[in-house]
Each structure stands twice: as structure tokens, then as C-alpha cells.
A and B are shown apart, each in its own frame.
Chain A
Amino acid sequence: DGGITQSPKYLFRKEGQNVTLSCEQNLNHDAMYWYRQDPGQGLRLIYYSQIVNDFQKGDIAEGYSVSREKKESFPLTVTSAQKNPTAFYLCASRRDTEAFFGQGTRLTVV
């Protein structure tokens, strides 16, 4: 079955370390997205990509980086420049009206 896989589900990192969150889809969707959720708040857009080798900043891109070398993969790196990295991260993909969502990665920086 097609879908999106995010890994890992839970991730712990020390402050000052970069960390990369994985997002893979086998749906042949062109568009992929990364969102961040803080406790009690809605999901906010970090980065998105509508085609391979191209991506755009969302509303809260500072301190994050992405790549889109393959259609299936859209990894997100949380860099040490991100002031408050502890959050829930959600990956999604779309084609027209069809959208799929990953299970999310809960990142805790200690």
C-alpha cells in the first residue's frame, strides 16, 4: 500500500546538535511539506517542495534546511540555529485534492 513513512517516531538530541528527520513516500506525489506543531498550537509550515530539486520556505523556515534530490524523499534537518527545536514535526504529500500525512516525529532536545 502507498503511504508516507516518517522516522523515527520519537527522537532525542542534545542541544547544539543538528538532527535530520526522514520523510519517504511511495505515492508518486510531486508536492511534499514539513509542518511543526507546538503544544496547544496549530501546525505551521516550515518548508515545502512542489518538484524535485526545488523547495520553498514556509512561515517558520529559520533554523531548518531541506533537500529534494528524489521525488520520494524530503528530509528535514533541524540545525543548531533553531532556537526552540523541541516540537512535533509532520510530513505530508499532495497531488491535487489527495493528501497523505505521516505519523509525525516528536523531537525533544535536552
Chain B
Amino acid sequence: KNEVEQSPQNLTAQEGEFITINCSYSVGISALHWLQQHPGGGIVSLFMLSSGKKKHGRLIATINIQEKHSSLHITASHPRDSAVYICAAPNSGNTPLVFGKGTRLSVIA
């Protein structure tokens, strides 16, 4: 079974700071997902990564398949970025996604 670990668990940043959230997994995968969950809100899919890097606005996600590691970066962080960020990886095929426990980000103005 894939073990998905995220770090840090909690992160507090000042507005404008560059933020990095890390995700590592134990079993080789075909793709990894990054999700965002605002307090009391639903889940929003941010990225699906098979290799390399993807960028959407101030969010950048990278993945190193050989090292079984992915990072989510937020540039010029803003209080509205405050949320829980979750990574998820499958075992194989259509087997269930395994989710990390999430990183709770608070960005202070």
C-alpha cells in the first residue's frame, strides 16, 4: 500500500512569503494530485502531475518520479491562500487514491 507523507503539518507565513509544501510517497505511481480545502469548504483539485512541473497562477507543482517526491509552491502568498493542502497518490491502475494528512497553511497579513 502506498504511504503518502506530507510536511510540514502546519505552516504559518507572512503575506508575500514563498511557501513550499512537500509530499513523499512509497510506491511508484503514474500521477500525483494536489488538492486544496478551505476551512469548512469543499475540495478543489489544483494539479495532477505525471512528471516535471505545472504552473497555475501563483501555484507551482513539481514532481520527481525517481525520488518519489512532489512539492507545491506558492509565490507571493496571500491570506486567501490559507487552506489545507492535500496530496494524493494511487497504488496502481484504478486502485483507490491514498491521501496525505494535509498541510494546514495560514497566511497572515
Task: Select which of A9, A50, A100 is within 8 A of B94 by beta carbon.
Answer: A50
The reply to whether A43 and B99 form a contact with Cβ atoms under 8 Å apart is yes
The reply to whether B43 and A104 form a contact with Cβ atoms under 8 Å apart is yes
Q: How far is the CB of A15 from chain B (nearest CB, A)?
A: 22
Task: Give the tally of cross-chain contacts (CB within 8 A).
Answer: 53
Would you call A64 an interface residue if the criterion is a C-beta within 8 Å of the partner chain's C-beta atoms?
no
Q: How many residues of B contact A (CB 8 A)?
A: 22
The reply to whether A101 and B43 form a contact with Cβ atoms under 8 Å apart is yes
Task: Select which of A94, A96, A103 is within 8 A of B43 by beta carbon.
Answer: A103
What are some 27 contacts across the A-B interface (CB < 8 A)?
A9-B42, A33-B96, A33-B97, A42-B86, A42-B99, A43-B86, A43-B88, A43-B99, A58-B96, A92-B97, A95-B94, A96-B30, A97-B30, A97-B31, A97-B48, A97-B90, A98-B48, A99-B31, A99-B88, A99-B90, A101-B35, A101-B43, A101-B44, A101-B45, A103-B42, A103-B43, A106-B40
